[in-house]
């Protein structure tokens, strides 16, 4: 067992060294060991998926209808039932293919998105640190492990600083376990304390380890092969649509039975009545809705990905539209996370500042002087002290900067320290790292014990938040040696800290001591780092407020710095609460503040985010919460939408519903906009699809009660539902955001997509106009051509002409419908841009209309005939009425929102 061997032997065994593999070696190892991935257990067989489209409930109904038509043809040839049968089969084929295509496209869109969630690993190769695709890790590679990483492969540790591993994916144990360099008395790999395992998460500390197994040879690989694929859970929208489909199916079945009986008793013949009833059922159940909605959700998530927000689960697209509060981190989300040290203060009272922007620009330290000394004098006396401060800061980091190649690695705060040290030529000389007290957001500090070359004693370099570091100090570094830290000096240091924080600087306190232990430290200075707000964040924050969304900053930084940054980006701040304040507030009090005030949270521990999410939810808010660290993951899971930073830890990314590829607050707002858009697009397309059911049913019902010929045939109903409606419907699903979408309040949490409004607009408003259109065209044509009421004995050609008018009445209304539905609230005339998919859909409808009117083979299939042009004006009034009515209705809606005052 390799983990029991001395580390030198392990290196010999995997033919590697602490500096890592040679680059030339990698390809050979990748060939020998294969990529570091676990083969997917099960792939969808799309041939079977396609076949399934023919054997579910609704296609089977149609197939039965087709077979019945064939039977009817057998007994009574020459009545066109054979053509009906083939047309019904064709409808089954077209519908199955279209539905399959939509599902396939949605799947592919999701796959493409998931590919963006790359797993990376930091390794050492040829002595150089590099970030590589986790799939390229090979045995012998050196993994550089830090807090929040998901381990890429099984590896044996040879350096470990406070390293804790969460092994829950492997053994279900969620308490992190400490790793060190001893294997203990383990008898198998999984129990070895000196090993880390693929898939496990590092919850604390850092370390170096040499890879001994990759891909399926890892412990995780062995388990993964055993476990079957986990079942997919249904999203609420899927449930909602299935529920709605069920109700509509029952209604349609009921109506089908009634129509069947009516038809049979009114001598339409048993078979014909059955075919009609079955087709009516199929036509009235919007079974194509689910794939259309799934596709429009995945298209929305693709659009979001283009705007840097990666949705992991489609359901969150919808939830985003309902977000009422965004709780955002500060560093990197509202700010650029590009730190530069800009000022320093030394305890002798001397202030300094440094020029040169960015990491690689040259710069120079300047002295603003101190009481009793000119800047020039100060420079000569204090420069060595400043250099010492910067030396201590620079050795106490994990970052790396290559000034020549202009590349850098690591935490931006730490990179900034290296750059500042370089600008002061503060070289530390050769030294050896003895030990590290790792940084954590909870401790807010970090220390490194080093042994300078040639020196006998070790020194400890300490950096961190002032309130974490200062209580551990008992001396300060004066020009003439160590001075005891009295209350006056403490007050002076605190004043200076506040002054820097009020100017939006992130302040780091630097301390040191000879020897080990984070106590009895010597305070040596303060460094002020600037992290400017991101471009566009101010506008995005303003947009949130106008969209009735509150924004709360939750940061680990100092309250004064946090407020200063908050004000810069335009946050409304009624009160700043610190983590300490929070501990002293009861749930009821805090809930009250969260309800009534614009709050900003500073010096927060990650665990407190969970409480905030919970209390906000108790208040009925829909919470979007950002996070990047390991400890953020409970809050990310709790929030309605957990938003992990793209640069954040793997653990946070796994817990979030959405990953912000560029960490930018602006992208959250863009995602909210898309979420709201897709919510309304689904409403629009559902309304559109429901509308055309009315002109299909009403004429049929009327034909029972009035003495008129049948206005619409089965195949014509199928033509509308499974033919002409599909493409424009899809177009509505991909409509662009509406102009006022970020001016209205969030979508209510309990507001269903398929609510009364959809049924009202679909069935009762637009649908009724369409039924009116169909009957107006049908009866208008009959009366204008001399038909007498009650005459059912008309020629086949004449009947076909009249039915063509009904069909065209419905189709032309759907054309007007699709245009006015492009916006749920805005006027059609104010819409910007066009929707190509809708134009394409309407174009195909026009083409179909021409075929119906003038192409004899098409006419044979769809029971239509050429109608003289002089009657076509009958098709004009109702689409216009539908359009005007819906536009008027939207105007009233807009007035309602204009006067909306949030509760």
Distance CA 82, CA 88 (A): 10
If one asks whether residue 735 binds ligand ATP (CB under 6 A), the answer comes out as no
Complex with ligand ATP: residue 469 or 669, whichever CB lies closer: 469
If one asks whether residue 508 binds ligand ATP (CB under 6 A), the answer comes out as yes
Complex with ligand ATP: residue 71 or 490, whichever CB lies closer: 490
Distance CA 400, CA 531 (A): 19
Helices (H), 149-229: 168-171, 219-226
If one asks whether residue 618 binds ligand ATP (CB under 6 A), the answer comes out as no
The first and second tokens of residue 12, run together, are 């010999």
Per the CB < 8 A criterion, the answer to whether 466 and 497 are in contact is yes
Identify which range of 231-239, 258-266, 274-282, 324-332 contacts ligand ATP by CB under 6 A.
324-332
Angle at 740 between CA 736 and CA 744, to 5 degrees: 120
Minimum distance from residue 613 beta carbon to ligand ATP (Å): 15
Per the CB < 8 A criterion, the answer to whether 87 and 51 are in contact is no
If one asks whether residue 464 binds ligand ATP (CB under 6 A), the answer comes out as yes
| Binding residue for ligand ATP, selected from 136, 370, 414, 640, defined by CB under 6 A | 414
Q: Say if strands 575-578 and 599-602 run parallel, antiparallel, or are unpaired.
A: parallel
Distance CA 846, CA 243 (A): 34
Q: Residue of minimal CB distance from ligand ATP?
A: 556
Distance CA 17, CA 126 (A): 9
If one asks whether residue 566 binds ligand ATP (CB under 6 A), the answer comes out as no
Minimum distance from residue 414 beta carbon to ligand ATP (Å): 5
Helices (H), 547-664: 559-568, 579-583, 587-596, 606-618, 633-638, 650-655
If one asks whether residue 331 binds ligand ATP (CB under 6 A), the answer comes out as yes
If one asks whether residue 134 binds ligand ATP (CB under 6 A), the answer comes out as no
CB atoms within 10 A of CB 531: 24
Q: Say if strands 201-213 and 142-146 run parallel, antiparallel, or are unpaired.
A: antiparallel
If one asks whether residue 121 binds ligand ATP (CB under 6 A), the answer comes out as no
If one asks whether residue 329 binds ligand ATP (CB under 6 A), the answer comes out as yes
Distance CA 832, CA 836 (A): 13
Minimum distance from residue 444 beta carbon to ligand ATP (Å): 4
The first and second tokens of residue 783, run together, are 């009366």
Minimum distance from residue 206 beta carbon to ligand ATP (Å): 12
The first and second tokens of residue 541, run together, are 């924050």
Within 13 Å of residue 678, how many CA atoms lie on the same side as its CB?
28
| Of 136, 329, 557, 640, catalytic | 329
Minimum distance from residue 617 beta carbon to ligand ATP (Å): 21
Per the CB < 8 A criterion, the answer to whether 522 and 333 are in contact is no
Q: Residue 876: CB partners within 8 Å, gap ≥ 6?
A: none
Complex with ligand ATP: residue 289 or 511, whichever CB lies closer: 511
Per the CB < 8 A criterion, the answer to whether 277 and 263 are in contact is yes
Minimum distance from residue 773 beta carbon to ligand ATP (Å): 59
Complex with ligand ATP: residue 373 or 463, whichever CB lies closer: 463
The first and second tokens of residue 566, run together, are 């908050």
Distance CA 693, CA 721 (A): 8
User: How distant is the alpha carbon of residue 446 from its chain centre?
Assistant: 33
If one asks whether residue 347 binds ligand ATP (CB under 6 A), the answer comes out as no
Minimum distance from residue 402 beta carbon to ligand ATP (Å): 20
Q: Residue 9: CB partners within 8 Å, gap ≥ 6?
A: none
Identify which range of 302-310, 554-562, 633-641, 873-881 contacts ligand ATP by CB under 6 A.
554-562
Complex with ligand ATP: residue 509 or 741, whichever CB lies closer: 509
Q: Say if strands 195-196 and 550-553 run parallel, antiparallel, or are unpaired.
A: unpaired
DSSP reduced 3-state for 144: strand
Identify which range of 317-325, 327-335, 793-801, 832-840 contacts ligand ATP by CB under 6 A.
327-335
If one asks whether residue 444 binds ligand ATP (CB under 6 A), the answer comes out as yes
DSSP reduced 3-state for 230: coil
Q: Which of 132, 205, 204, 156 is nearest to 409 (CA)?
A: 132
Complex with ligand ATP: residue 216 or 411, whichever CB lies closer: 411
Q: Total binding residues for ligand ATP by CB under 6 A?
A: 20
Cα 280 to Cα 81, 153, 251, 724, 845, distances in angstroms: 16, 58, 11, 17, 22
Identify which range of 270-278, 443-451, 517-525, 745-753 contacts ligand ATP by CB under 6 A.
443-451
Minimum distance from residue 609 beta carbon to ligand ATP (Å): 9
Q: Which helix (H) or strand (E) covers residue 250, if one does?
A: helix 236-265
Minimum distance from residue 51 beta carbon to ligand ATP (Å): 51
Complex with ligand ATP: residue 652 or 818, whichever CB lies closer: 652
Cα 176 to Cα 98, 166, 377, 651, 855, distances in angstroms: 50, 4, 54, 13, 74
| Binding residue for ligand ATP, selected from 436, 557, 738, 825, defined by CB under 6 A | 557
Per the CB < 8 A criterion, the answer to whether 710 and 804 are in contact is no
Identify which range of 221-229, 411-419, 844-852, 853-861 contacts ligand ATP by CB under 6 A.
411-419
Minimum distance from residue 465 beta carbon to ligand ATP (Å): 3
Minimum distance from residue 528 beta carbon to ligand ATP (Å): 11
If one asks whether residue 413 binds ligand ATP (CB under 6 A), the answer comes out as yes
If one asks whether residue 330 binds ligand ATP (CB under 6 A), the answer comes out as yes
Complex with ligand ATP: residue 528 or 556, whichever CB lies closer: 556
Neighbouring-strand partners of residue 335 = 533
Identify which range of 5-13, 125-133, 275-283, 329-337 contacts ligand ATP by CB under 6 A.
329-337
Angle at 136 between CA 130 and CA 137, to 5 degrees: 75
If one asks whether residue 463 binds ligand ATP (CB under 6 A), the answer comes out as yes
The first and second tokens of residue 402, run together, are 């290559």
For residue 329, indicate whether it is catalytic.
yes
Complex with ligand ATP: residue 213 or 446, whichever CB lies closer: 446
Complex with ligand ATP: residue 375 or 532, whichever CB lies closer: 532
The first and second tokens of residue 485, run together, are 């830290």
| Binding residue for ligand ATP, selected from 446, 541, 630, 774, defined by CB under 6 A | 446
If one asks whether residue 441 binds ligand ATP (CB under 6 A), the answer comes out as yes
If one asks whether residue 510 binds ligand ATP (CB under 6 A), the answer comes out as no
| Binding residue for ligand ATP, selected from 13, 411, 458, 757, defined by CB under 6 A | 411
User: How distant is the alpha carbon of residue 844 from its chain centre?
Assistant: 35
Question: Looking at residue 897, what DSSP letter applies?
Answer: H
Identify which range of 41-49, 175-183, 442-450, 760-768 contacts ligand ATP by CB under 6 A.
442-450
If one asks whether residue 506 binds ligand ATP (CB under 6 A), the answer comes out as yes
CB environment 26-44: b (16+ within 10 A), e (fewer): beebbeebeebbbeeeeee
If one asks whether residue 497 binds ligand ATP (CB under 6 A), the answer comes out as no
Minimum distance from residue 45 beta carbon to ligand ATP (Å): 46
Identify which range of 135-143, 444-452, 485-493, 815-823 contacts ligand ATP by CB under 6 A.
444-452
Complex with ligand ATP: residue 176 or 556, whichever CB lies closer: 556
Minimum distance from residue 541 beta carbon to ligand ATP (Å): 15
Complex with ligand ATP: residue 325 or 720, whichever CB lies closer: 325
Q: Is the dihedral of CA 487, 489, 491, 493 positive or negative?
A: negative
Which single residue is written with the structure tokens 């939830």? 319
Complex with ligand ATP: residue 253 or 399, whichever CB lies closer: 399
Identify which range of 139-147, 460-468, 783-791, 804-812 contacts ligand ATP by CB under 6 A.
460-468
Question: Annotated catalytic sites, by residue?
Answer: 329
Chain residues in the site for ligand ATP (CB under 6 A): 329-331, 411, 413-414, 439, 441, 444-446, 463-465, 506, 508, 555-558
């Amino acid at each position: 067992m390799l983990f029991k061997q001395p580390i030198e032997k392990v290196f010999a065994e995997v033919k590697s060294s602490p500096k890592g593999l040679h680059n030339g070696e990698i390809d050979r190892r990748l060939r020998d060991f294969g990529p570091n991935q676990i083969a997917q257990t099960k792939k969808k067989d799309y041939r079977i998926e396609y076949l399934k489209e023919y054997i579910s409930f609704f296609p089977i109904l149609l197939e039965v209808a087709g077979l019945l038509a064939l039977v009817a043809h057998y007994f009574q040839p020459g009545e066109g039932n054979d053509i009906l049968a083939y047309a019904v089969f064709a409808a089954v084929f077209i519908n199955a293919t279209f539905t399959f295509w939509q599902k396939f496209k949605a799947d592919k869109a999701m796959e493409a998105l998931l590919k963006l969630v790359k797993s990376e690993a930091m390794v050492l190769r040829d002595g150089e640190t590099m970030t590589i695709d986790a799939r390229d890790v090979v045995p012998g590679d050196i993994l550089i492990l830090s807090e929040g990483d998901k381990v890429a492969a099984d590896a044996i540790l040879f350096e470990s600083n406070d390293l804790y591993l969460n092994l829950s994916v492997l053994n279900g144990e969620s308490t992190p376990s400490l790793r060190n360099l001893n294997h203990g008395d383990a008898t198998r790999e999984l129990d070895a304390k000196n090993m880390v395992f693929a898939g496990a998460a590092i919850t604390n500390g850092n370390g170096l380890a040499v890879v001994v197994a990759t891909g399926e040879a890892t412990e995780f690989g062995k388990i993964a092969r055993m476990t079957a694929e986990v079942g997919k859970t249904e999203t609420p929208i899927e449930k909602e649509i299935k529920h709605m489909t069920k109700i509509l199916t029952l209604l349609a079945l009921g109506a089908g039975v009634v129509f069947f009986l009516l038809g049979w008793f009114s001598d339409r013949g048993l078979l014909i009545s059955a075919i009609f009833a079955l087709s009516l059922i199929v036509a009235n159940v919007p079974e194509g809705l689910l794939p259309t909605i799934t596709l429009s959700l995945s298209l929305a998530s693709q659009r979001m990905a283009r705007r840097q927000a990666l949705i992991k689960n489609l359901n969150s697209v919808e939830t985003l539209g309902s977000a009422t509060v965004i709780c955002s981190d500060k560093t990197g989300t509202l700010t650029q996370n590009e730190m530069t040290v800009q000022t320093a203060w030394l305890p002798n009272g001397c202030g300094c500042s440094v020029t040169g922007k960015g990491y690689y620009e040259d710069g120079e330290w300047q002295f603003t002087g101190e009481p009793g000394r000119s800047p020039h004098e100060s420079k000569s006396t204090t420069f060595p002290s400043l250099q010492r401060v910067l030396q201590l800061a620079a050795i106490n980091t994990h970052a790396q900067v290559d000034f020549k190649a202009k590349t850098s690695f690591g935490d931006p705060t730490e990179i900034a320290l290296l750059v500042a040290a370089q600008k002061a030529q503060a070289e530390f000389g050769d030294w050896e790292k003895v030990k590290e007290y790792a940084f954590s957001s909870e401790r807010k500090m970090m220390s490194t014990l080093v042994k300078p070359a040639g020196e006998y004693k070790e020194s400890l370099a300490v950096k961190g938040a002032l309130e974490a570091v200062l209580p551990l100090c008992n001396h300060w570094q004066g020009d003439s040696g160590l001075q005891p830290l009295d209350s006056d000096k403490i007050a002076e240091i605190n004043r200076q800290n506040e002054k820097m924080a009020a100017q939006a600087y992130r302040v780091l306190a630097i301390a040191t001591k000879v020897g080990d232990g984070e106590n009895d430290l010597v305070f040596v200075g303060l460094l002020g780092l600037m992290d400017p707000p991101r471009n566009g964040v101010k506008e995005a924050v303003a947009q949130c407020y106008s969209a009735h969304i509150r924004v709360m900053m939750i940061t680990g930084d100092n309250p004064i710095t946090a407020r200063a940054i908050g004000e810069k980006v335009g946050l409304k701040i009624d009160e700043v609460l610190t983590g300490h304040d929070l501990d002293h507030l009861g749930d009821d009090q805090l809930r009250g503040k969260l309800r009534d005030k614009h709050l900003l949270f500073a010096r927060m521990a990650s665990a407190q985010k969970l409480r905030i999410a919970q209390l906000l939810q108790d208040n009925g808010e829909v919470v979007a919460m950002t996070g990047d660290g390991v400890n953020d993951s409970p809050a990310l899971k709790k929030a309605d939408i957990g938003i992990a930073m793209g640069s954040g830890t793997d653990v946070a990314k796994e817990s979030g519903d959405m990953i912000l590829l560029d960490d930018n607050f602006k992208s959250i707002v863009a995602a909210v906009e898309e979420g709201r858009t897709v919510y309304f697009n689904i409403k629009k397309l559902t309304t559109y699809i429901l509308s055309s059911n009315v002109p299909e049913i009403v004429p049929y019902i009327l034909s029972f009660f009035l003495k008129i010929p049948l206005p619409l045939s089965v195949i014509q109903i199928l033509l509308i539902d499974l033919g002409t409606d599909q493409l424009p419907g899809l177009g509505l699903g991909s409509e662009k955001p509406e102009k006022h979408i970020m001016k209205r309040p969030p979508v209510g949490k309990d507001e269903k997509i398929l609510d009364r409004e959809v049924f009202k607009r679909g069935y009762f408003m637009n649908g009724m106009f369409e039924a009116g259109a169909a009957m107006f065209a049908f009866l208008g044509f009959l009366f204008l051509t001399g038909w007498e009421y009650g005459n059912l004995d008309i020629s086949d050609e004449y009947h076909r002409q009249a039915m063509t008018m009904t069909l065209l009445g419905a189709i032309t209304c759907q054309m007007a419908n699709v245009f006015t539905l492009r916006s749920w609230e805005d006027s059609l005339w104010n819409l910007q841009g066009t929707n190509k998919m809708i134009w394409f859909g309407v174009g195909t409808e026009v083409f179909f209309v021409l075929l119906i009117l003038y192409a004899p083979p098409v006419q044979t299939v769809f029971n239509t005939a050429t109608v003289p042009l002089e009657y076509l004006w009958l098709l004009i009034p109702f689409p216009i009425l539908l359009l005007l009515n819906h536009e008027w209705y939207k105007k009233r809606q807009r007035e309602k929102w204009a006067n909306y005052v949030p509760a």
